[in-house]
Amino acid sequence: MSITKRSESMHAFFEGFVHSGTTLKELVNQFDNALRNKVKVEVTADFNSINQTIPCISPFGIEKQFQMIYTNAKFKEVQEEVLGLILCNCTLVNTKGYVSTFDVLDQISIDEGHVKNVHYSVYYNEEECEFKCMCALFEMRGIFCRHAFAVCRMKKINALPEKYILDRWRKDLKRRYTLVKSSYDDLQGNADARR
Ligand SMILES: [Zn+2]
């Protein structure tokens, strides 16, 4: 997430809780209320995710894997990448030992009716089942990108290892443990930034 995006979302998060002219004690209470509300909203999202399943849009095994594990909101982000696969054309460039390099040609829409062809290099280590794409979507936003999906499709990989499934977006119990902690970390980070 970009810094602006992050501060915007933090702003939205505190909106309605923090007013000018508050004392420190009031502010602490408001922080606490804001945190409780955030956790409540996320737990509701978890509950909804467990009770409503969004249908898969492809016969791709990895999409199914994320459907079973991720909250609905995050699964939708994964689906955007699955959908983007339609515009990706993958070719093998070379193989050295366990590492293969692929070129993925993607068509990115720049404005209405205009597309730009962009090449991405994807490295795939067969021994570690590890993917590295130049677009760095996974490193930046934690979402497995369409280019790495294109390599999976070519290599007929139907499930990803655990390292690509992030605990914070799981709809099962495992996620609850990280939820409260990460919310406190967010608040702490915000408080540090203010200082
Ligand atoms: Zn990529």
Q: What is the mean pLDDT of the chain?
A: 82
Ligand 1 geometric centre to CA of 90 (Å): 12
Ligand 1 geometric centre to CA of 137 (Å): 6
Ligand 1 geometric centre to CA of 96 (Å): 21
For residue 2, the model assigns a pLDDT of 47
pLDDT in tens, 111-131: 887 889 999 999 999 999 999
In this structure, the dihedral spanned by the alpha carbons of residues 75, 76, 81 and 84, taken in order and rounded to 10 degrees, is 150
3-state secondary structure of 102: strand
Ligand 1 geometric centre to CA of 118 (Å): 11
d(CA 145, CA 131): 10
At 13, the amino acid letter reads F
Residues with Cβ within 8 Å of 30's Cβ and at least 6 positions away in sequence, in order, are: 14, 17, 18, 22
Ligand 1 geometric centre to CA of 120 (Å): 7
Instruction: Give yes or no for residue 27 having a pLDDT over 70.
Output: yes
3-state secondary structure of 57: coil
Give the H/E segment covering residue 153: helix 146-155
Ligand 1 geometric centre to CA of 148 (Å): 6
Ligand 1 geometric centre to CA of 132 (Å): 8
Check: CB of residue 97 under 8 Å from CB of residue 75.
Answer: no
- Give mean pLDDT, residues 133-142: 95
pLDDT in tens, 144-163: 999 999 999 999 999 999 99
Ligand 1 geometric centre to CA of 140 (Å): 11
